[in-house]
Amino acid sequence: MESQNKTLDTGYRPRVPQKLIHNAVKDNRFVVVVAHRLMGKTVSAINQLIHSALTCTKKEPRYAYVAPTYNQSKRIAWDYLVNYTRPLGAKVNIAELRVDFMGRRISLYGADNPDSLRGIYLDGAVIDEVGNINPSVFSDIIRPALTDRLGFCVAMGTPKGNNHFRGLRDRAAEGNGWKLLEFKSSDTKILNEQELQAARTEMGEDKFMQEFECNFNSPVEGSYYSKIINEIEEKAHMTEIPRDDLCRNYTAWDLGMSDSTAIWVAQLTGKEIRLIDYMENHGQGLDYYVSWLRDNDYAHFTHILPHDVEVRELGTGKSRRETLEDAGLNIVTAPRLNVADGIQAVRRIIPRCWFDPKAKQGLDALRNYRRHYDEKRAVFHDRPLHDWSSHAADAFRYLATGLDDSPAEEWNKPINVNTKWIV
């Protein structure tokens, strides 16, 4: 690397696929990298940020690496960042996961705390494992942060089902300032063939095709709904849906206090459940969501909320139900069921569902909603993973249980759980 007429050697020696990534960033502002496991994408990402920082001529360059969680960012990328910037005399700040060198700064972030990214400017960013990150992190936070400095962004990862990462991949394939790079293990030839064959045998065909051959159509491992969603997608249940207010009209909410609030908008006609809209936001009061309902003419719908809507707030002494009813909303509460029963209720209604493009963010979340995986013990827990997909999934669960037309007495009987749907 050269900067200010000095030759700087960080020790990085890129392989051919990594060189292709660097060349793509040189010629394009937005690059999408679909890469097989163990390709070295994180190493290439960190070194891209370092190189871009060294060659930037703007005042006080700022760069960001974003992983799905803060802990992942620290575990996966921090050592690489420290090691490759050490020859540059970097000042290391482990408390804030950042390095400073020659007036430049590279910081690591977790998408599980999006507020840490707000209000900053960026000359470049890498979003790693973008399929596991809320799509709003790019559209609402990273993209605006790049605007003033015309910064670049690399969105990279291994496929995690047919979700928003697939959408980014398809957008990049169209060009128009975007560049797509895809690296399948069968093409890169980086990994030992015998090891790949062993992995195929041990992992199973679906998981292998996802992790090593970059197949977006493989079900997300541990997913509760991706397989059944793929089935209704084959039946063209994802399409523009004309609004029909002669239907029965509902919204279903997952209420967040210090967390996100998610709202599904549904219209029922016969046995069809039409999901015509979805919204999610963070750090807003109830008045914000009431305004959104009024602006979109949803306020007169019936609104299904979880039972904790009855909890009284210390500040006002009123429950959130009372606050919403004072705003003119018709509130009903979903049955108080455990999560497993709620998931079963969702599975009963999904074959009846149709999804409008305006509900795509919520649909992507449903695809990604999955069981918690214990990496140390290499086992799945019975409980769901709490991540960006949880809010949409919880709200949809309240919709399913609030609309479920099964006789009430069925909820008092043991449920015969079919485990085949868990992938």
**153 and 199 share one domain:** yes
Confidence at residue 404, expressed as pLDDT on a 0 to 100 scale: 56
Other residues' Cβ atoms within 10 Å of the Cβ of residue 230: 17
Give the CA-trace dihedral at 39, 40, 41, 47, to 10 degrees. -150
Does the pLDDT at position 265 exceed 70? yes
Q: Does residue 237 fall inside a structural domain?
A: no
Integer Cα distance of 380 and 385 in angstroms? 10
Does 143 lie in the same domain as 17? yes
Is the same domain home to 184 and 316? no
Kindly tell me if the per-residue pLDDT of 1 is higher than 50: no
Pull the structure tokens for residue 269: 């006609």
Neighbours of 258 (CB within 10 A): 6
Residue 267 has pLDDT above 60, yes or no: yes
Q: Model confidence at 2, in pLDDT bands (50, 70, 90)?
A: very low
Report pLDDT for 408.
41
Looking at residues 108-117, what average pLDDT do you find? 92
> Does 139 share its domain with 281?
no
Strand-pairing partners, residue 253, are 263
117: pLDDT strictly greater than 80: yes
Helix 70-85, helix 41-55: angle, nearest 10: 60
d(CA 250, CA 185): 46
Place of tokens 């992790």: 211
130 and 32 in a common domain: yes
Contact criterion met (CB below 8 Å) for 253 and 305:
yes
- Per-residue tokens: 387: 């991540």
Domain that holds residue 38: 2-213
Q: What is the pLDDT of residues 269-278, one digit of tens each?
A: 989 999 999 9
Asked if residues 106 and 92 have their Cβ atoms less than 8 Å apart, the reply is no
The answer to whether residues 67 and 108 touch, using CB atoms and an 8 Å cutoff, is yes
Helix (DSSP H) and strand (DSSP E) numbers for the chain: 15, 18
What pLDDT digit, counting tens, does each position of 149-179 carry?
A: 999 999 999 998 888 899 999 999 999 989 9
For residue 382, being part of any structural domain is answered with yes
> 62-67 and 124-128: which strand pairing?
parallel
- The domain boundary residue, chosen from 168, 191, 213: 213
Tens digit of each residue's pLDDT (9 = 90 or more) over 174-205: 999 899 999 999 999 999 999 999 999 998 89
Start-to-end CA distance of the chain, whole Å, equals 46
Over residues 333-344, the mean pLDDT reads: 92
Judge whether residue 57 has pLDDT over 60: yes
Q: What pTM did the predictor assign?
A: 0.79
What is the amino acid identity at position 346? V
- CATH number of the CATH domain containing 86: 3.40.50.300
Is the predicted pLDDT of residue 407 greater than 60, yes or no?
A: no
Instruction: Please check whether residues 46 and 178 belong to one and the same domain.
Output: yes
Beta strands in 283-336 (DSSP E): 302-305, 330-333
- Measured distance CA(244)–CA(34) in Å, rounded: 40
Residues 167 and 311 in one domain: no
Domain boundary among 213, 231, 262: 213
- pLDDT at residue 118 tops 80: yes
Tell me the average pLDDT of the chain. 90
Average pLDDT over residues 223-228: 90
Tell whether the model's pLDDT for residue 129 goes beyond 90: yes
Quick check: 331 and 309 in contact, CB under 8 A?
yes
Residue the block writes with tokens 């020790």: 11
Radius of gyration for the chain, computed over Cα atoms and rounded to the nearest angstrom: 23
Indicate which CATH number applies to the domain containing 357.
3.30.420.280
The pair of structure tokens assigned to 409 is: 């007495």
Structure tokens at 77: 């990328």
Same domain as 407, residue 275: yes
Domain presence at residue 320: yes
- Read off the amino acid at residue 52: S
Please check the confidence at residue 314 and state whether its pLDDT lies above 70.
no
Residues 111 and 115: their CA atoms lie apart, in Å, by 9
Segment 373-392, tens digit of pLDDT: 776 666 777 789 888 899 99
Question: Does residue 288 sit in the same domain as residue 173?
Answer: no
- If one counts the domains in the chain, the total is 2
Asked whether residue 172 falls in the same domain as residue 260, the answer is: no
> Looking at residues 321-338, what average pLDDT do you find?
94
pLDDT for the residue numbered 373: 73
Q: What share of the chain is helix, strand, coil (3-state, %, to 5)?
A: 40, 25, 35
Helix (H, G, I), strand (E, B) or coil at 224: coil
Biggest alpha carbon–alpha carbon distance for the chain: 79
Mean pLDDT of 251-267: 90
For tokens 């937005």, what's the residue?
30
**Do both 272 and 336 map to the same domain?**
yes
| Strand ranges for 84-188 from DSSP E | 91-93, 98-101, 104-110, 124-128, 152-157, 178-183
* Residue 198 counted as domain residue: yes
In a domain, 235, yes or no: no
Q: Give the residue-averaged pLDDT of 218-237.
A: 87
**232 found inside a domain:** no
Which amino acid, residue 11? G
Distance CA 106, CA 86 (A): 13
Q: How many residues in the chain? A: 423
* Separation of alpha carbons 210 and 221, rounded Å: 10
Q: How far is CA 111 from CA 37, 161, 365, 374, in A?
A: 21, 19, 15, 20
What is the per-residue pLDDT for 375? 63
- Residues 289, 371 within the same domain: yes
Of the listed ranges 13-17, 303-307, 413-417, the one predicted with least confidence:
413-417
Q: Is 289 in contact with 239 (CB distance < 8 Å)?
A: no
